[in-house]
Amino acid sequence: MKQFLVRICQWFITRRRGGRYSEGDNEKVRCRGAVMFQPLLLVFLLLPGPARYCAAKYHVAHTLRIAGLFEEGSPPEWAFAFQSAVDAINRQTASWAPQRVFRPTLEPVLRTLSPGDSFGTGRAVCNLTSEGVAGIIGPRQTASTDIVRSVCDRLEIPQVVTNWDPRPPLRRAYQFNLHPDAKFIAQALVDVLRELKWRSYTVLYQGDESLVRLRSVLQEREPRDPPVAVRQLSQDGDHRPLLKEIRQSGETRLVLDCDTDTVPEVMRQAEEIKLIGVYQSYLITSLDTHTLDLGRYQQSGANITTLRLVQPDSELVLKSMQDFQYLRTAQPIHIRPETLRTETALVFDAVHVLANALFKGSTAQPVREQRLPCHGGVGAVWDHGIGVREFIRDMRHEGLSGDILFDASGSRVRFSLDVLESSSSGFQRVATWTPQEGFLSSRTETQAQRQTQSIIEGRHLIVSSRLDAPYLRMKAPTTPPRVGNDRYEGYSMDLIANIAELLNFTFEFKLAPDGEYGTYDKRKGTWNGLVGELINGRADLAICDLTITEERQSAVDFTMPFMNLGISILYTKPEKPPPNLFSFLDPFTIDVWIYMATAFLGVSAIFFVLARMAPNEWTRPHPCDQDSSELENTFSLINILWFTMGSLMGAGCDLLPKAVSTRLLAGMWWFFTLIAIASYTANLAAFLTISRMESPINSVQDLAKQTKIKYGTFGRGSTAAFFKNSNDSLYQRMWIVMKQARPDVFTDDNHEGVERVKKGKGNYAFFMESTSIEYQTALNCDLRKVGGQLDSKGYGIALPRDSPYRTAVSGAVLQLQERGNLSALKNRWWKAPEGKECDEDDPDKNSTELGILNVGGVFLVLFFGTLIAFAVSVLEFLWNCRKIAVEEMMTPWEAVVSELRFIVQCGLDAKPVRRRREPAPSDCSDSRLHYGSLCSSGRK
Ligand code: ASP
C-alpha cells in the first residue's frame, strides 16, 4: 500500500514536469507530489489513517533551499550564523517528526560574492533562482543588494537583508531589512544627545557612510545651539594629531562614528594624548560597542555612552548559544552572548523569519521552490512569492535582535535599542529607545544617585582656592612646618572636608597662583584665577567666596549655592555726638524758640493794650475805698510779662484778668502754652535720653547723591562687574563716578578695601558682599554695614564644565544645608575672637541713663538765673538804701549799714516802717512811704 501511494504521486509529478525526473530530486519531487495530490489522495483513500500517513511521509521528505549571499571578506560569523540557524531549525523539524508535526527541511545554499563585482553577483543570483530557491538572505553591500533585490522583485522571491542602509526608506516589494532603519537610528541618537544635554560636541567620523548616517543627527539641532565641529578620522590610522587638536580646543564631548573594530584603536590613541578621563564623554554610534573590551577606558572615569540592539542577557540569546555550539565547521567559531554582534544576530534572525514564513505557507498550501531562470519568459514568477511575502509582513517574530515587525515597505518598525553607559563595572543599561515611545529611562532615582556617587567615590581631587579669611587662611607656623592641607584652615576647608566625608573622596588644597577669583580677558580669550585653574584642568573643584555669575557659568559649572548674599556698603560707624549741656533746647528747633519768644512778647504787648482799653480792668486802688477818685489797672507792662511768663512755665500767677477781651486773650495764650508745654515735654524725654548718632549716609542713594565721601570696590570681582554691567541708571552713574575718581577707588582685594574704610575716617565707603561685611563688622567694631543689599546672589563650588562630580557635590551641599551644618560652619568662622566682640548698638541701653552732661544745661540756667536774681536784689537793696538815706537824711553808707544790720538779724521777722523826719502826712494814700502791700497795716 505504501509503495503504491508513492508510485502514484511520482507518476503525477513526473507528468507535470514534462517527464523529467532526476534521482537527486527524488525526495523533493515526492513531497511536492504528495502535497499537490493530497486532496486527490483523500478522495481515493476513504480511510483517514492512510491519508495522514501518506501526507506525513511526503512532508518529511520535502526540502526547501534557502540561500545565504555573503561578500568576500565578510566576517565568518555571518555564514556561521546562517548555517547554525538552518541547522537548528532542521534539528527542531526532525525532533517534531515522532509527534507527527511535519514541516519541510531547509537546505542551506551559501554563495560568496566578490564585492563590487555586479556581474558576478547577478550571475550568482540567477544561477540560484534557476536551480530553485525559496528565499535569499543577504548580501550586505548596497550595490550587490540592489542587484539581488531587482532579481528577487522580478521573480517574486523574498529577500531578507541585514545591513544598515543609509538611504531613505525604499519601496521594497520582496525585500525586507532586519536592520533598524537609518532614520530610526538617527532619531535614537538625537534623543540620546538631548537626554545627555549635549548642545556642543565634536563629531569624529570615518567615511562618507558615517556622514550620511549622522546627517539627520546634525540637521535635528536647534538653531540656537552652538555649532558642532565635524572632523574625519585620518585614513592612515594615525588619529593623534586630530585628537590633540580636539584636546587643545577644550572639547570634552565626542560623537564617534566608525567601524566597530576601529573604535579600540581610536580610544587607545585618545588615551595616549589624554583625551580620555573623567571630564571626557563619548557617544559611540556603533551598535556593537558593548562587545568590545573598553574596560580600561571605563576605569579612567570617561563617560562612554552607546546603543545596542542585541541584549546579551536575553533568554533567546542565551538559548541560541547552544545552536552555535552544535554546528561543526572546519574552523570553529566561538560566539558568546557578550561578543554576539548585531549583524551576526540579524543573519540568524533572518533565517528564522524566512523559515517561519515558508513553514506557515506550507501548512496551508505546501510551499516549494521553482526553477526560475532570470531570463525566463514574462510572468515566470514564483507561485508562492506573494504568499510568503505576506506572511513575512504580517508576522511578528521574537529574535535575537528583539521584537521583529515589518511595515509595508519592508522596513523594520518594531525593535528596541538599549542605551548603555559606562561604569567601573562595564556597560550598564540606563534606558531603552523604541521608535514608538522614544527614550525611556530605566534607571530608578536611587540607581541614578548611586551611579553619580560612585563616580566620585575613592577619587583624589585637587581643590583650588585663594587665601581670604574667614574662607581660607594659613594656620600659625609651627616647627616642623605644617604640610599639605594642614597648612590651611577656614570655612572652605571645613566645607570641603564635610563634603568629602559624605561622598567618600580625598582632596588636596592648591592655591591659585595669581590669587584671583576668575575674570575673562577678552583680548586673550582666557580666564585667570580659580576659573582658569578649572578650565586648564589643574583643579577638580574651586572653593572660596566665589560668586556664581552668568559669565563664569558659561565657562565652568557651579554647584548649588552654599551661601546667599548681596552687595552692600561697608562704612565707618558715626561718631557719638559729645553730650550737649543745652540739649533741653533740642526738642524745638531754634526757629520754634524764636517764634515762641516773639509770641510771648507779642501777646504781652497786645494784652497790655487790651487791658488798658478794657474798662473792667480799671478798679479802685482799695476795694474798701469806694470814694477813691482814681482808678488803677493791675496789668502794668511788668505784671503782664509776669502773667504771660507764669502761664508759659505752667506756674500760674495771682493776677487774673477781669474783662472779657483780656480773658479771651488769656485763654488763647493758655491753650497755646498747654500745647507747647505738652509737645516740649514729650520731645524732651526722647531728646534727652537717646544720643542720636548722625550718619552722613544711610543708603546707596545717599552715597550717590554726595561727592564728599568717595566709594569704590574690589576691581576684578563680581561686585565691580555688577556695577559695570548693571542696567540701573543709579548704579551706572556710580560706576562712572568710581571709574573717574582720582585717586583710584578700586582695590586689589577686599582686605585693602576694609583698610581704606578704616583709615578714611568716614571719607571712603566700600562696596563689598554682605557676608564679608558681616565678618568685618564682627571683628572691627567701628565698621558697619550701611543700607540694604543691592542684589541677591550666592557662592557656589565651581567645577570644570560638564564635570561628572557636579551632581554628587551639589547633592552633598544640599544635604549639609538641610542638616544645618552650613549655618553651624558659618557661626563658627564668623565669630569674633572671645572677648573681642563688639557691643551691640542697643537703643534701650543708651536711653536708660542720663549723665550730668546731658542735663547740665538746666543747672546752668538755674545758676545764672539765681545769680541775676541776686544781682537784681543787690541793685534793689542799694536803691532802697539811697532812698532811705535821702528820706532819713543820713549818708548812704549809714543807710546801707543800718539795712544790712537789720538783714543779718535773723531773729527779727518784722521790719519797722520808715517815716520821714518831717511831719508825716497821715494819709495812707501816699503809696511811696510804706513797706508791704497794705497801707493800713500800721506795723511798728
Ligand atoms: N566674591 C567676588 C567674586 O567672586 C569678589 C567680590 O567682588 O567681592 O568675584
Q: What is the DSSP letter of 455?
A: H
- Give start-end residues of each CATH 3.40.190.10 domain in the chain: 446-566+809-824, 693-791
Q: Which secondary-structure segment (H or E) carries 42? A: helix 38-44
State percent of the chain over pLDDT 90: 57
Rounded (5°) CA angle 444-450-451: 90
pLDDT at 137: 95
Among protein residues, the one whose CA lies closest to atom 5 of ligand 1: 717
Of 15, 13, 50, 62, the C-alpha closest to 33 is 13
Look at residue 797 and tell me whether its pLDDT is greater than 70: yes
Domain 446-566+809-824 has CATH 3.30.750.24: no
pLDDT at 580: 78
Look at residue 30 and tell me whether its pLDDT is greater than 80: no
Domain 693-791 has CATH 3.30.1330.10: no
pLDDT band per the 50, 70, 90 thresholds, residue 17: very low
What's the gap between Cα 930 and its chain centre? 101
Strand 135-137's sheet: what is its strand order? 105-113, 63-71, 135-137, 159-161, 175-177
pLDDT tens per residue, range 197-208: 888 899 999 988
Q: What are phi and psi of 251, to 5 degrees?
A: -70, 135
Range 457-465 average pLDDT: 95
Class of residue 594 by CB neighbours under 10 A (exposed 0-12, middle 13-18, buried 19+): exposed
Q: Which atom of ligand 1 is nearest to the CA of 769?
A: 8
Handedness of CA 784, 790, 794, 795 (dihedral sign): negative
**Strand, coil or helix: 510:** strand
Range 896-915 average pLDDT: 79
Q: What is the DSSP letter of 310?
A: S
- Give start-end residues of each CATH 3.40.50.2300 domain in the chain: 180-326
Range 388-395 average pLDDT: 91
C-alpha cell at 551: 559669565
pLDDT band per the 50, 70, 90 thresholds, residue 172: confident
Task: Out of 466, 530, 546, give the residue to mutate to test ligand 1, the one with the largest number of ligand atoms within 8 Å of its CB.
Answer: 546
CB distance 771 to ligand 1 below 6 Å:
no
**Strand, coil or helix: 767:** strand
Give the N- to C-terminal CA distance of the chain in Å, as an integer: 188
**Strand, coil or helix: 804:** coil
Q: Ligand 1 center to residue 532 CA distance, Å? A: 15
pLDDT band per the 50, 70, 90 thresholds, residue 933: very low
Query: How does the average pLDDT of the chain come out, rounded?
Result: 85
List 229's β-bridge partners, or say none: 202
Q: How far apart are CA 558 and CA 548, in angstroms?
A: 7
Written as one string, the DSSP assignment of 389-429 is: HHHHHH--EEETTEEE-B-TTSBB----EEEEEEETTEEEE
pLDDT tens per residue, range 266-318: 999 999 999 998 889 999 999 999 999 998 888 888 999 999 999 999 999 99
Q: Which atom of ligand 1 is nearest to the CA of 518?
A: 9
pLDDT at 189: 93
pLDDT band per the 50, 70, 90 thresholds, residue 924: very low
Look at residue 748 and tell me whether its pLDDT is greater than 80: yes
pLDDT at 918: 54
Look at residue 735 and tell me whether its pLDDT is greater than 60: yes
C-alpha cell at 212: 550620511
C-alpha cell at 892: 548812704
pLDDT at 655: 86
Q: Ligand 1 center to residue 782 CA distance, Å? A: 23
CB distance 717 to ligand 1 below 6 Å:
yes
**Within 10 Å of residue 366's Cβ, how many Cβ atoms?**
21
Q: How far apart are CA 83 and CA 320, in angstroms?
A: 13
Q: How far apart are CA 69 and CA 818, in angstroms?
A: 66
CB distance 549 to ligand 1 below 6 Å:
no
pTM score of the predicted model: 0.67
Helices (H) and strands (E) in the chain, counts: 32, 32
Asked which of 35-49, 209-223, 314-328, 494-508 is least confident by mean pLDDT, the reply is 35-49
CATH number of 180-326: 3.40.50.2300
Among protein residues, the one whose CA lies closest to atom 9 of ligand 1: 717
Of 120 and 30, the one with more pLDDT: 120
pLDDT at 29: 43
